Amino acid sequence: MPTSPRKPDWTPDDAGDAFASRIVSGVAGGHDGLDTGQHAAATPGRGPARRPLSIDDYAAGVLAGDRAVLARAITLIESNAPAHFETAQEVLRRLLPHSGNALRVGITGVPGAGKSTLIEALGLALIAAGHRVAVLAIDPTSSLTRGSILGDKTRMEGLSRAAEAFIRPSPTGGVLGGVARKTRETMLVCEAAGFDVILVETVGTGQSEVTVRSMVDFFLLVLIPGGGDELQGIKKGVVELADAIAINKADGDNRIRAEAARAEYNRALHYLTPVTDGWHTRAYTCSAETGEGVANLWAVIERFRERTAESGAFAARRRAQAREWLHTLLDEQLRAAFYDRPAVRAALPAIEAGVMAGELPATAAARQLLALLDG
């Protein structure tokens, strides 16, 4: 792919210089050279058609760290076309033994907290220290706003130009579960391509934090000093998922308020059960803008990795996450298989109507429908 180094990998071919101002829409086929079963003619406005890649091409390209192939492999994974599913899964199966070597860090916070500024600062510092950084996003609102995370031209500009960074916005369309599957698989592909730090960003909306927590080693909550009762406005449940809290924007006039917020959070954290065995979640101040405290945040994350690797908590969490992931997929596929059954489709409307009219107890209705699985 003739990608200019100044453009993020996910920029559409026809985006011209307006890089990062638009994002790849949900892909159903005919994109990025994926084999749609149709003649691979050039799509007007999308540049020349590219040669379809074989499974071997995908695997070898990703393992060689070829960014263009990596981008296409992710597009394949993100595809909603049934024809791509088997190929994507086979590519993943090949890459899986080469994944798992990165440190996976989740970053959440309300819009405006400074997540992308922090990711930019942290990412550039990590690159300077010799790391290769992939930034992925789970944005539950992206199907509405067409990618509010990472979709903005001004965000992470430095990082998006760095050869050692790879930025991929949230796949658009679909429900959180589907977006999460794609992000999780994208993470594995990035690891196979040699990225050793994966930053998964999400907006603080409640549900997506739990999803991101379930796929990362370390979870960072970014907050800003708000004054007053610092625990107001952010759900306690989200605080309970965090391995560290970064009180951002601790600069200028905000410095004192940020220090006060840090102290207040540390007092509150004292009473919470830490989310990771053998690790105490603490609050730290930083300024993503000036860079102050950002190196310390990374030092905390590295200390976490060392401690939990020693205690076994790190590996135990990864195993538990893999198991949980299997069960999530099973649940998803069982539901889909159930609702797809012609007998269920045929019977459901009448049974639903019976339940709504108060004529049929819901429990009996559910049993009646589930019995159709045996048929």
C-beta closer to ligand GDP: residue 120 or 217: 120
Q: How far is the CB of 63 from ligand GDP (least distance, A)?
A: 32
Residue 212 contacts residue 108 (beta carbons within 8 Å) = yes
Distant-in-sequence, close-in-space partners of 36: CB < 8 Å, separation ≥ 6: 29, 30, 81, 83
Residue 68 contacts residue 5 (beta carbons within 8 Å) = no
Q: What are 244's strand-pairing partners?
A: 220, 282
Burial degree of 163 (CB within 10 A; 0-12, 13-18, 19+): exposed
C-beta closer to ligand GDP: residue 126 or 288: 288
- Residue identified by tokens 């200019």 is 4
Does position 36 interact with ligand GDP (CB under 6 A)? The reply is no
Instruction: Print the binding letters for residues 220-249 with ligand GDP: x by CB under 6 A, - otherwise.
Output: ----------------------------xx
Phi and psi at 81, nearest 5°, equal: -80, 125
Q: How far is the CB of 260 from ligand GDP (least distance, A)?
A: 16
Does position 114 interact with ligand GDP (CB under 6 A)? The reply is yes
Does position 117 interact with ligand GDP (CB under 6 A)? The reply is yes
Residue 166 contacts residue 129 (beta carbons within 8 Å) = no
Q: How far is the CB of 83 from ligand GDP (least distance, A)?
A: 36
Instruction: Print the binding letters for residues 140-179 with ligand GDP: x by CB under 6 A, - otherwise.
Output: ---------------x------------------------
Q: How far is the CB of 290 from ligand GDP (least distance, A)?
A: 7
Q: For residue 80, which amino acid is it?
A: N
**Candidate ranges 24-32, 53-61, 104-112, 306-314; the one touching ligand GDP (CB under 6 A):** 104-112
Distance CA 330, CA 163 (A): 38
By CB under 6 A, the count of residues binding ligand GDP is: 15
Q: How far is the CB of 298 from ligand GDP (least distance, A)?
A: 15
Query: What end-to-end distance do the CA atoms of the chain give, in Å?
Result: 50
- Sheet of strand 197-203, all strands in order from the earlier edge strand to the far edge: 165-168, 133-138, 197-203, 103-109, 218-223, 244-247, 282-285
**Candidate ranges 12-20, 234-242, 286-294, 305-313; the one touching ligand GDP (CB under 6 A):** 286-294
Distance CA 325, CA 263 (A): 36
**Candidate ranges 18-26, 287-295, 307-315, 336-344; the one touching ligand GDP (CB under 6 A):** 287-295
Closest residue to ligand GDP in the complex (CB): 114
One of 87, 142, 143, 287 touching ligand GDP (CB under 6 A):
287
H helix count then E strand count, the chain: 14, 7
The three-state secondary structure class of 222 is strand
Question: Which residues here bind ligand GDP, judged by CB under 6 A?
Answer: 109, 111-117, 155, 248-249, 251, 287-289
